[in-house]
Amino acid sequence: MLGLITRRLAQLPLILAVLYTLTLALAWAVPGNPLENPGRRPPPEVGEAMKAQYNLDNFWGFYFSYLKHASGLSHLDDSLSGRAAQEDRKAAAAGVAPPTRYILDLGPSLQYRDRSVNEIIAAALPVSALVGGSAMVIALVLGLSAGIIGAIKPNSAADVATLSLALIGISQPTFVIGTVLQLVFAVWLGWFAIGEWGNLSNLVLPAVTLSLPFAAYIARLTRMGMLEHLSADFIRTARAKGVSETSILLKHALKNAMLPVISYLGPAAALAMTGSFIVERIFSVPGLGQHFVNAVQNKDLFLIIGVVLLYGTMLILFNLAVDVMYRWVDPRIE
């Protein structure tokens, strides 16, 4: 187990380097100059300072300059050379606050003035994680319940109903589901507010909208897995020994049927935790999804790369957690 975790963590920098290269190449190819966006253009001196620090006029210059800051090498170099301490002394002598330094410096945002990508992610990630975590809890409750019901009574009315709902959840895009939920529960019934954030009630509709596609996949995976294991020899042996039906369903069939569900939960949890771009856009949730969409529209290279690297890191870590959970569910898996 320790060897698996060590190998995966050792592969993390290489995977992120490849992801960074592809993301920067695609973002760089988008037409337009991010420093010349109307209404968001930084002062000339700020723009020139950004160009000089990060080599914004040259792809490879920017590539290695940003990589040095984002990997922590720049912070290490400043600390070992004494430049960081010298800048702090100059700031103290001038009576101003010393500059904020990050070990992994993702750079300044070209879209939001006086805000770094680190600050934007630190403020938006908890919001996206709250919505995503709530959505995954709802998805697990709905998906497992629907899958178990369908497996207990296959081809019954309850099974057909759960399969139909799962089909709707998979086939309908989230912007359709979100719009319908807003229309019904916010406009017609008036139970929830639209375009607001700050109360617990504002979390309900975005979390439910985000959870439904995940719940649909979990329901189908659970149903198929349980139907397969309920007809297995060890289940018949357990029934012959007089094991209760509840114990058979939960401890024997469901536990073994959870393996494909756990495989799905890794990337699903990473996607949900980092924020669904469409759901956050529809419900005006101030999470990472909103910032990423705006960053793409305005070619904010720093914010685009920062969000993509964060998502890639979470995807790798969640998949690692899935592999660890595999060993817990089935110790026979190496």
147 and 282 belong to one structural domain: yes
Q: Is residue 52 classed as helix, strand or coil in its secondary structure?
A: helix
Are 107 and 117 spatial neighbours (Cβ–Cβ below 8 Å)?
Answer: yes
Q: Looking at the domain assignment, is residue 80 inside a domain? A: no
Confidence of residue 43 (pLDDT cuts 50, 70, 90): low
The better pLDDT of the pair 297, 211 is held by: 211
**What gap in Å lies between CA 205 and CA 201, rounded to an integer?**
8
pLDDT in tens, 322-333: 777 777 666 666
- Domain count of the chain? 2
| Identity of the highest mean pLDDT range in 93-102, 105-114, 118-127, 166-175 | 118-127
Q: Which of 308, 254, 300 is nearest to 21 (CA)?
A: 308
Confidence of residue 21 (pLDDT cuts 50, 70, 90): very high
217 and 307 belong to one structural domain: yes
163 and 22 belong to one structural domain: no
Confidence of residue 207 (pLDDT cuts 50, 70, 90): very high
pLDDT in tens, 237-271: 877 877 777 787 777 777 777 888 888 887 888 77
pLDDT in tens, 267-279: 888 778 765 778 8
> Domain of 278?
118-329
Q: Looking at the domain assignment, is residue 101 inside a domain? A: no
For the record, the structure tokens of 283 come out as 């419900």
**What gap in Å lies between CA 328 and CA 14, rounded to an integer?**
28
Are 91 and 238 spatial neighbours (Cβ–Cβ below 8 Å)?
Answer: no
The better pLDDT of the pair 235, 143 is held by: 143
160 and 225 belong to one structural domain: yes
66 and 128 belong to one structural domain: no
Q: What pLDDT score was predicted for residue 330?
A: 62
Confidence of residue 46 (pLDDT cuts 50, 70, 90): low
Position 96 pLDDT exceeds 80 = no
For range 110-116, the mean pLDDT: 80
Q: Looking at the domain assignment, is residue 300 inside a domain? A: yes
For the record, the structure tokens of 327 come out as 């060993």
Q: List C-alpha distances in Å: 195 to 124, 275, 279, 327.
A: 16, 17, 12, 43
